[in-house]
Amino acid sequence: MHINIAWQDVDTVLLDMDGTLLDLAFDNYFWQKLVPETWGAKNGVTPQEAMEYMRQQYHDVQHTLNWYCLDYWSEQLGLDICAMTTEMGPRAVLREDTIPFLEALKASVSSEFCSPMRIRTTWR
């Protein structure tokens, strides 16, 4: 399906990073393996107990803003989630279509739109 967009009239494009620009493999590894393992080791519980605990924690806040809040998870779990994401950052990779998409977007909009002052991210 092709949608014609009047890009000259667009002044804002919002993109989700996880699964849109970045491959979800990093998120899956981080939240389903690394965080439970780290929390379990810190709290002296088995990997299975840690996984069950984390599943419940995730379930309790799904569909809320806390789900997306690294500060919330740091406080809730007693882990430095921001430091963990920074340490694991090199594992995050772009989807193969990200660069072509961003280049096409850049070519479709005015140079004023793509100025560095107009680019915003929520990445910490």
Residues recognised as catalytic: 9
User: How many residues make up the chain in this entry?
Assistant: 124
Please state the separation of Cα 120 from the chain's center in Å.
15
Q: Please state, in angstroms and rounded to a whole number, the distance separating the CA atoms of residues 90 and 31.
A: 16
Q: Are 93 and 25 in contact (CB under 8 A)?
A: yes
Strand partners, 22: 18, 94
Which tokens is 33 given?
């393996």
Long-range contact pairs involving 101-104 (C-beta distance under 8 Å, separation at least 24): 102/21
